[in-house]
Structure 1
Amino acid sequence: MKKNFDNGVWPVMLTPFTEDNKVDYESLEKLVNWYIESGVAGLFADCQSSEMFFLSLEERVEIARFIKEKTAGRVPVIASGHISDKIEDQAEELNAVAKTGVDAVILLSNRLAAEDESDEIWLENLKKLLSLLPEDLALGFYECPYPYKRIISPELLEWCAKTGRFYFIKDTSCDIHNIEAKLEKIRGTHLKLFNANSSTLLESLQKGGNGFSGVMANFHADLYVWLCENYETYPDKARLVADFLTVASMIERQVYPVNAKYHQKKIGNFVSIYTRTKPMCLLNETAQLEVEQLSRITEFMKKEILL
């Protein structure tokens, strides 16, 4: 298993569906190529943006296998896919995903304890889950917001880093102080932190963060790639790009992931904007105009600001 996860952008992948609610693998292959052509460091499959809670285990496994195959070694692929409550069932799901050959499997922080349970219970359950997974399996964490957001404390993350089994964390704290504390605790280990939040991204990079793993890479992955690669070389432009990305990210509050699928359809990757999580009709005509306007100003940023 590849255990050298490069700094940069790791999109949380969408799952395209046909109008009759089947996974659209032709569109998925186009999406894989679009991400890679945008310069991403790796791909995160079977996550919340992938609608993992609405996918069968068979679908989660096949999607991970397909994406790994279609990348053809161009970038590494990580995947989650465990949605069950019982630790034993989660181990079954994660082991099934691991057998697809993905480069790491990602644990959801909220699957290890109920919202009202302590960090001690969380750690106890993590140890149990680790005992049911191969010791040489590369692992990561995702602070998934659904069904509730559980932010891993810097102290717990330090414990995880010291096991030597964890290589990736998608941080969703949206709190630069929490991120800074985590970075301090994992410094010197091979655990890398990827920020999901646009507003704190530049500051997290400046403090030693490793990149971006958020939903807005489904709209303009290449701008995030530019920021992660150039924030030190062009600090003034980086500040402007980061400010734009923060304002642009307000579209997350619209009808995601329907709006992201609408964007992907407009650029020719998707055939349908069908999702299992939200009705397509919620993306009304005004909302569609907002996505189109974002696309135009994104192109302006790339042509006029970055060159």
Structure 2
Amino acid sequence: MNDTKFVPVMITPFNLKAKVDLDVVSNLIDFYLAAGVKGFFANCLSSEMYSITEDERLELTQHIVRYVNGRVPVVATGSFGLTVNDKAEFTKKIYDTGIDAVILITGHYANVEDSDDVLLKNFDRMFKLTGNIPLGMYECPAPYKRIIGPDVFKTLLSANRLVYHKDTSIDLEKVKAKIDIVKATKSNLEFFDAHSPNAMYSLQMGAKGMSSISGNFYPEILVWMVNNANDPAKLEEVKWLQAEISRVDPLIHVAYPMSAKYFLRKRGLPVRTISRATALELTPDQKKTLDEIHGSFTMWCERLDIKPVDVEQLMLPKYPLDAAI
């Protein structure tokens, strides 16, 4: 049985007043689930978590938990606040929304110039302050990317508090070293690679799945990859698709998350190209590039017999069966 997963890093739709649009969040959840995702990472960098308030982070996460209603697990970032005590308090608040695990940003537990000893000390304090709350790590690019080396990774796992890791090291040797530690320690931690060009390789090394921004453009493609990367009968198709994903990956990062919002709108979702993280409009050239990638996506689906989500059908009003006609 294939138990690998694709877990999207959710974007946050805004209305014309730049307020969080919870109705469109629900539309997005329906879209992701129809594509076959097996979890959600809410309140993350793709969600513009640094550009929304504490109350909005909690409201958004709670809405996602309620709407998903146990169909798949939901995790969300909780390490906000100036001190470790503050981070622990917010972690408790966001866990109370009903999420399955709270994700800690590695760059929140040591300054860029600090040694790994500082990070380990702060994580240990965090573990002590958060009771039995299931925790995870994310090597988030902001405020700066703090990569967890294999030795530190092994030490953190030994606390038996971590159930989730989102890796952004990009370096496949480091990825393999960490996956090997998970295997050797028989940890229940689920290892997710954030770097789409690594997908085939990290999945074949034993990663639990992928959690990359490309899922905010074409989740069906990443779902197909996690489902087939270890199938010997599909090896040639997997290699071909990996080359295609890697080719377009640098292009979808340009002007992200606005690029994703434009792409999803092109796919028929009511996502406005409004972002709090950037006030810049997409240029005509950027739109043209994304239009071309949409054409590539259509071609990938045709070649691999993937059925793209029928967004038009998905967006139809859901009336109860006994509603008056």
Q: Does 1:264 align with 2:260?
A: no
Match of 2:47, SS state, is coil
Shift of 1:215: 0.7
**Residue 209 of structure 2: aligned partner:** 211
Whole-Å Cα distance in 2 between the matches of residues 271 and 118 of structure 1? 42
Deviation at 1:82, TM superposition (A): 2.7
2:98 alignment partner in structure 1:
101
1:188-231 C-alpha deviation (Å, 9 max, x unpaired): 11112100111222111111111111111100111111111111
Question: Which range moved further: 247-256 or 206-215?
Answer: 247-256
Residue 90 of structure 2 aligns to a residue whose secondary structure is helix
User: Structure 1 stretch 89-98 or stretch 118-127: which is displaced more?
Assistant: 89-98
Match of 1:291 in 2: 290
Q: Which moved more, 1:83-92 or 1:114-123?
A: 83-92
Aligned sequence identity (%): 32
CA distance in structure 2 between the aligned counterparts of 1:42 and 1:80, rounded to whole angstroms:
14
Matches within 5 A, 1:61-80: 61-80=58-77
**Number of residues of Structure 1 aligned to a counterpart in Structure 2:** 300
| Structure 1 residue matching 2:191: 3-state secondary structure | strand
Whether the aligned pair in 1 keeps the contact of 2:182 and 2:189 (CA below 8 Å) is: yes
* 1:147 paired to 2:107: no
User: Secondary structure, in 3 states, of the residue corresponding to 2:277?
Assistant: coil
Listed as ranges, the matches of 1:160-179 within 5 Å are: 160-179=156-175
Instruction: Say if 1:296 and 1:211 are closer, same or farther in 2 by CA, change over 3 A.
Output: same
Distance 2:208 2:202 in 1: 8
How far apart are the structure 2 equivalents of 1:141 and 1:57? 20
1:237 corresponds to: 237
* Aligned position for 1:301: 300
* 1:51-62 aligned within 5 A: 51-62=48-59
Q: Deviations over 1:75-119 (max 9, x none)?
A: 110000433231111112111100000011100000000000011
Structure 1 position 121, deviation (Å): 0.6
Is the 2:252–2:290 contact (alpha carbons within 8 Å) kept by the matching residues of 1?
no
Q: Distance in 1 between matches of 2:131 and 2:30?
A: 31
Q: Determine if contact 2:40/2:72 at 8 Å carries over to the other structure.
A: yes
Counterpart contact for 1:52–1:81, Cα < 8 Å: no
Larger Cα-atom Rg: 2
Distance in 1 of aligned mates of 2:127 and 2:16: 39
Matches within 5 A, 1:249-260: 249-260=249-260
Q: What 5-or-longer segments of structure 2 have no aligned partner?
A: 307-325
Let me know the Cα RMSD of the aligned residues. 1.3
Relative to structure 1, the CA distance from residue 288 to residue 81 in structure 2 (aligned partners, 3 Å threshold; closer, same or farther) is farther
Structure 1: tracts of 5 or more residues without a match: 1-5
Deviation at 1:45, TM superposition (A): 0.3
State the TM-score, normalized to the length of structure 2: 0.89
Runs of 4+ in 1 over 4 A off after TM superposition: none
1:244-263: per-residue Cα shift (whole Å, max 9, x none)? Answer: 11112122331000010111
Cα gap change, 1:40/1:271 in structure 2, threshold over 3 Å: closer, same or farther?
closer
